[in-house]
Structure 1
Amino acid sequence: MPTPATLPSDEERTMLRDSVRGFLAHHWPAAEAVDAAADPARVASAWRQLAELGLAQLCTDPSEGGLREVLLVMEELGRAACPVPLHAAALLNLSGVEAPVLADMRGGGARLAVAFAQADGDPAAGRLGSDGATVSGEACFVEAAAAATHFALLVPGPAIAFVDAGSPGLVVESTPAMGTTGLSRLRLDRVAADLRTVDTGRVDDLVTIARLCLAGRAIGAASRAFEMAVGYAKERHQFGQPIGRFQAVQHKLANAYIALQGAQLSARSAAQQHDVRAPAWRLFAAAATVLAATTLRGVSLETQHAFGAIGYSEEHEAPRHFKQVHLDVLRHGGARPARAQLAAYYLDGPDDGTARTMPEYDLGPAGNAFRKEVRAWLDEHWSGARRAAHERLTFKEREYNRDFARALGRTGWIGLAWPERFGGQGRGAFEQLAFIEEMERAEAPRAGAPVQAAMLQVYGTPEQQARYLPEILRGEAIYGMGYSEPDAGSDLASMRTRAVRDGDGWVVNGQKIWTTTYWGDYMLLATRTDPDAKPSHAGLSMFIVPMDTPGITVKTSTTMYGGSFANVFYDNVRLPADAMVGEPNAGWKVLTGALATERGFIGGGIVLKVARSFELLCEHIRGAVVDGKPLREDPLVRERIATLAAEIEAGRQMMVHCAAQVDGGETPPGDAAASKVYSGELMERFGEVALDILGMQATLSEGSPGALLRGRIEQHLRHSLMWVISIGTNEIQRSLIAQRGLGLPR
């Protein structure tokens, strides 16, 4: 059984990508791509040369290159607008059949185009029949037929019929689509064929893989056009400045970046799942296909909008990529069969009555083992009467559970990622993900103070570390965050709360708003210590403030999601000098570093909340009856559940991507922000879709007679608004993605 360790490494994939990109830059330059694509001789030459590089042998041995590498090659072909259907070789290598022509294909001597006909997934793809020696009928939407030496046609049986392109009775008709050549219709009248039986169960898999490969090519095409649009936004001036400085353009491109990242990560993960023979690889592939079909066309449209009229010209690269994206995501039935597959999984089974959960992803040996360990501990310590009693509380009362926090503290897991010198366990990011995942699955209350602990470990004095870190580790302390202020909101550089030096200590005066954990033991308080500093954020300092310090007044307010926050007033609050974390006036660095740590995982925490609610929603739908009919059979319900499943999977992959970067020693701010933006807005979409599916009964709140799922659907919708605002609003995050991730001007 292949494992990630036995597959090609990331370094080897980078070498493969660079090799293919370099070949295409030389042999398929962008300036000639349109004319070359219309020339069968140029297509045939590129096809042969790519095969001679060994690319037609991919998927013969996963350790030498599997579907993950095929997807990478397809992305490069999409970027170059090169119509060579190299994935056809991978499909035939995975078909389980052998024929003399396949050896020629792998060496570059034969060029095989594939057609699925009635098994394609598109009702207009044609129909083929065979008498055992010949093939008759019609096959449509066949790629690069004019440059092929042979065709591999799926016929009932099932079997793959290998047909010579020059066979009598075979007619090839060009069928231009989206204003491009490249697709053809084959008409066959008793054409001689070499028929090879293929396993019935493998047919659907081959079509699934074909959709995934074409999604990869569409990702490459959309990515290339997007990169060009970003470059154009930096250079194109209007009204005296680069258009990339306009917030509308920045946010448009940030949205495209998020969508592209989700599509690419989902597709690559699905291919990897296939290569390691994970049982759920088909589900991952379906999710990737649905996501590509629902997002990449939108990215292409927004890219064209960014170019404006310059993108209308066929001389520009953008139109060819726009067309390629639309053609690829619609092939083989597009998203419809993939949606049906996702809906069937989540809404129709299993027959044994067990719950359908989202498939687990591989967190590596340590992460997978720790996942089981945490799950077993929660089954013992957060189940039965203890959990039932907690769930009877109101949402506000469920925000924190001190007994649970102390129990968790005894495991040492509150400090699972801390360095060992601070009493932590030094575990990696994937073990952190395993912990977050299982906590959300069990709906366990939060514990610890990760932001404050990270801040203390980096910027705290030895005395502060010795005083505060052990009590956080034991689950005995919880912290609030005193950041936002009236008028300034989340604009931390505009805060007015002052800390003035007074003898050996500091005196604080000011007001903080929207403070959610005001009931904690401590407040991590941002203040201004130098009002004349330039730039303004240079004069900030951070303090740890015990909440029982004289001069603190808390005025609470109920939030729209059933929780609470407070206005916290600081009137001549005296703090000792050792309450400051970091150097005076260095608070911006301390604060933003802590927030970056939190953002690296906050998107994952949100998407795991959505995933858990999604599973409960599907469980409810499976047993619900509306007007005498099972709700799960409603076509609209099935479509929307499938789309949600694909979107959640994209969010999970962004989470895994951020974890991999943390393990590699970095968290690019753009990617962490993308995960946070995507997950928060996904939570909003989930709530709205759930209300559409379930109707008015889903608006009944917890405690109300007839409330569905204890009122969690409507409550989570109200709660979702917080996640798009807290830790930096999504609008601010989009600007961060555009400016720091894409390099657009500030």
Structure 2
Amino acid sequence: MLRELPSDEDRRILQEAVRGFFEDLWDKAAQVPPRLWKQLAAQGLTQIAASPAEGGLREIVLVQEEAGRASCRAPLADAALINLMQLRARSDAHALTSLVDDLHRGDAVVVVSFAGFDHEGAAGSAKMESDRLIAALGFVESADIVTHLAIFVPGPALAIINTSEGVTPEPTPMMGKAGWWRVRIDAVPIVLVPFTDAEVRDLLTVAAVAETARAFGAAQRAFEQAVAYAGERRQFGQPIGRFQAIQHKLANCHIALRAVQPTIANAAAQYDLEAAQWRWFAAAALATASGSLRQVSLETQHAFGAIGYSEEHEAPRHFRQVHVSLLRHGGQRPPVEQLASHFLDRDGQVRFPDYDLGPAGNAFRREVRAWLDAYWSGERRARHEQLSFREREYDREFARALGMTGWIGLNWPKRFGGQERGAFEQIAFMEEMEHAEAPRAGAPVQAAMLQVYGTPEQQQRYLPEILRGDAIYGMGYSEPQAGSDLASLKTRAVRDGEHYVINGQKIWTTTYWGEYMLLATRTDPNATPPHAGITMFIVPMTTPGITIRPSETMYGGTFANIFYDDVRVPAENRIGAEGEGWKVLTGALATERGFIGGGIVLKAAHIFELLCEHLRTAEHRGSPMRHDPLVRARIGALAAEIEAGRRMMVYCAEQVDKGETPPDEAAVSKVYSGELMERFGETALDLLGPEALLSEHSPGAVLRGRIEQMLRHSLMWVISIGTNEIQRSLIAQRGLGLPR
């Protein structure tokens, strides 16, 4: 039965209160005298997770993030662990109950150690000899004020001792600064509280998530400081934040932080909700954070330059905190191995855990899955899979069958014939379509453009065709001298009575074989700024004057150079007013980028699952590949990266459901997912070797050549719809507020 826990609003209020408290004590937070501990207790921060009303792991994570921002080394997470233990301990654990009462009053300061249960060895060692506890603990924080130690020993059991006798602390500076101790214990008497192995493993995972949240808070604070500094520090006559190198460095940091935060938040939420897969989500969060936050801390220091190297600045404190927190409970190796085990050590079909998409989303997932099992299976799917990649790109029969379900208009308003389903139902649809390897269908960008900017006549004419699966659109944007810089496009559209006459050239146009082209033209060559003179048109591809010159792409598909020579298009085909094309065009691109990030990461997730299925039975030189340490390390790391991409997808969906589509957030998802696909392809080739280079229909091709083909295709996602370099500039300028 799920516990009643605080709401999102409760957590927002808690975060504001904790941040305000630490801001008042900013210079003192790094030191923890007993008086400060009493103040923390008075604020209720030693009572987090003591009862359902006091929260769970989400509240622990929130407080830890704020502690990380403030460089506070008070053992607040240890207090929360004790509270969780008291909730789940046996009814006869009177010693634990008594300790909790002292902890809440601020009379006790407790540090929890997993020394007798930590197989990585980072926490030290602990064992019972007769009635004595013999231990050598590492990574003990604030040993100078600790009154009690709670140590897990083999059994397992929790040994609670008072530090007043039999305890010898020895300062062990870490990364050049004090604050940590090695503690030797030869103590009697002690109190033992029994636990199970599973309970201790779960508590160790909770402790690791909490410490990772503190590392995130430290990294986030240092990053925010670096962004502010980049906007103020001047070199060569301008703020350094105007230089592209700094903008892209900080954009990379922002992307990494956006990958980490939702994975930690999701792990905490899954634990609080007692979800069966919470340990998997926790492993993904820990693995993602371990590499990403340390890289962010390095890049942040680079952005600060010499000023951040001074101990007078707060940046060094955050740099240390990130590294110590992430390594305290074993670092990246344990969670990566856990993820690898999930995908390599189990039989049958193994997928990424399904998200709870809410009642409507979950029900729709089942509905889509059932339809695909019935329609897109057997001989029909088998015939499709025998086609070349180019031939598989679009299937009109499938599009029309899907049109009969109404799902092409999944998120359309009902007044246009749509179903007005939410973003999480759209995620369910995308997931199932990708897993079934179904062909794409519909024209979502063009449909959205028509619904917002089209005339009633255009909506009545074109939208039903799209909804039925009868029409497909290309997008005529790029030109020889106008790729990412679309405002420089030259293709002219000149008004001639009730028509426009179009002349120009478009390049790299995909879906040129569709019924229509969504064409960007210039109607005012003298407009200032240049994007003010752009107008959009729907151009039927059978219109006289259009010359198509297809070109095979590196990834096995095609695009085309298209020439428009005196092409006459009725004025009624114009979308929006003359000169409003930039607004129409950029709005559509923002929509596409928001969905494309999720689409790419779902492709990566599916091909990753297929790769793991292959590795579970493959051998290299007579040995099972799934036992190879390199294979396991790379697979676990990839699983974590893909999960971070999935969380970004969910975040974008949440924003859509709120009626928001921030272009910088869409850019974050697009950049991360496209480059993830590249990393996946290169990693898979490393693991599989030369045979993975064999293309489809080649004898012996691994996974029918999908790995190498997807690597070639991944290049398109990084370049198209605005290159990732342009997207990084957008993130830096719009998302981070750096100068243009």
Q: Is the 8 A contact 1:114 1:153 kept in 2?
A: yes
Q: Is the 8 A contact 1:149 1:165 kept in 2?
A: yes
Compute the TM-score of the two structures, normalised by the length of structure 2.
0.97
1:459-470, aligned counterparts within 5 Å?
459-470=453-464
CA-to-partner distance for each residue in 1:238-277, whole Å, 9 max, x for gaps? 0001100000000000000000110111111111111111
Q: Which residue of 2 aligns with 1:136?
A: 134
Question: Which letter does structure 2 place at the counterpart of 1:649?
Answer: E
**Distance change in 2, residues 1:233/1:117 (3 Å):** same
Answering whether residue 29 of structure 2 is matched by residue 2 of structure 1, we say no
319-328 or 121-130, which deviates more: 121-130
Q: Distance in 2 between matches of 1:176 and 1:119?
A: 24
Question: Which runs of structure 1 show a deviation greater than 4 angstroms over 4 or more consecutive aligned residues?
Answer: none
| CA displacement at 1:666 relative to structure 2 | 0.5
Q: Secondary structure at the match of 1:410?
A: helix
Answering whether residue 361 of structure 2 is matched by residue 395 of structure 1, we say no
Q: Is the 8 A contact 1:133 1:194 kept in 2?
A: no
Q: Which residue of 1 aligns with 2:207?
A: 210
Q: Distance in 1 between matches of 2:674 and 2:570?
A: 39
Q: Secondary structure at the match of 2:719?
A: coil
Q: Which residue of 1 aligns with 2:515?
A: 521
Question: Which residue of 591, 597, 600 corresponds with 2:585?
Answer: 591
Question: Which residue of 261, 274, 280 corresponds with 1:264?
Answer: 261
171-180 or 613-622, which deviates more: 171-180
1:286-435, aligned counterparts within 5 Å?
286-349=283-346, 353-435=347-429
Question: Which residue of 167, 184, 189 corresponds with 2:186?
Answer: 189
Q: Distance in 2 between matches of 1:189 and 1:107?
A: 28
| CA displacement at 1:63 relative to structure 2 | 5.3
| CA displacement at 1:131 relative to structure 2 | 4.3
Q: Which residue of 2 aligns with 1:158?
A: 156
Q: Is the 8 A contact 2:48 2:59 kept in 1?
A: yes
Compute the TM-score of the two structures, normalised by the length of structure 1.
0.97
| CA displacement at 1:32 relative to structure 2 | 4.2
Question: Which residue of 546, 555, 563 corresponds with 2:549?
Answer: 555
Q: Secondary structure at the match of 1:659?
A: helix
CA-to-partner distance for each residue in 1:388-416, whole Å, 9 max, x for gaps? 11111000000001111111111111111
Q: Which runs of 5 or more structure 1 residues have no equivalent in the other structure?
A: none
Q: Which residue of 2 aligns with 1:18?
A: 16
Q: Which residue of 1 aligns with 2:498?
A: 504
Q: Which residue of 2 aligns with 1:70?
A: 60
Q: Secondary structure at the match of 2:490?
A: coil
Q: Which residue of 2 aligns with 1:676?
A: 670
| CA displacement at 1:629 relative to structure 2 | 0.5
Question: Which residue of 728, 732, 736 corresponds with 1:738?
Answer: 732
Q: Which residue of 2 aligns with 1:120?
A: 118
| CA displacement at 1:191 relative to structure 2 | 3.0
Question: Which letter does structure 1 place at the counterpart of 2:401?
Answer: A
User: How big is the alpha-carbon RMSD for the aligned residues of Structure 1 and Structure 2?
Assistant: 1.3
Q: Distance in 1 between matches of 2:362 and 2:145?
A: 47
Q: Which residue of 2 aligns with 1:442?
A: 436
Question: Which letter does structure 2 place at the counterpart of 1:331?
Answer: R
Q: Distance in 1 between matches of 2:51 and 2:135?
A: 34
Q: Which residue of 2 aligns with 1:220?
A: 217
Question: Which letter does structure 1 place at the counterpart of 2:451?
Answer: Q
Question: Which letter does structure 1 place at the counterpart of 2:112?
Answer: V
Answering whether residue 613 of structure 2 is matched by residue 616 of structure 1, we say no
Q: Distance in 2 between matches of 1:641 and 1:230?
A: 34
Answering whether residue 230 of structure 2 is matched by residue 240 of structure 1, we say no
Q: Secondary structure at the match of 1:596?
A: helix
Q: Is the 8 A contact 2:445 2:592 kept in 1?
A: yes
538-547 or 94-103, which deviates more: 94-103
Q: Distance in 1 between matches of 2:143 and 2:195?
A: 23
| CA displacement at 1:132 relative to structure 2 | 6.3
Structure 1 vs Structure 2: percent identity of aligned residues?
66
Q: Distance in 2 between matches of 1:327 and 1:615?
A: 33
| CA displacement at 1:180 relative to structure 2 | 2.1
335-344 or 493-502, which deviates more: 335-344
Question: Which letter does structure 2 place at the counterpart of 1:738?
Answer: A
Q: Which residue of 2 aligns with 1:605?
A: 599
Q: How many residues align?
A: 732
Q: Secondary structure at the match of 2:594?
A: helix
Q: Secondary structure at the match of 2:306?
A: helix
Answering whether residue 714 of structure 2 is matched by residue 720 of structure 1, we say yes
Q: Is the 8 A contact 1:170 1:191 kept in 2?
A: no
Q: Secondary structure at the match of 1:357?
A: coil
Q: Distance in 2 between matches of 1:32 and 1:190?
A: 33
Q: Distance in 1 between matches of 2:193 and 2:131?
A: 11
**Distance change in 2, residues 1:578/1:639 (3 Å):** same
Q: Is the 8 A contact 2:122 2:329 kept in 1?
A: no
Q: Which runs of 5 or more structure 2 residues have no equivalent in the other structure?
A: none
Q: Distance in 2 between matches of 1:674 and 1:56?
A: 36
| CA displacement at 1:515 relative to structure 2 | 0.5
Question: Which residue of 38, 44, 49 corresponds with 1:54?
Answer: 44
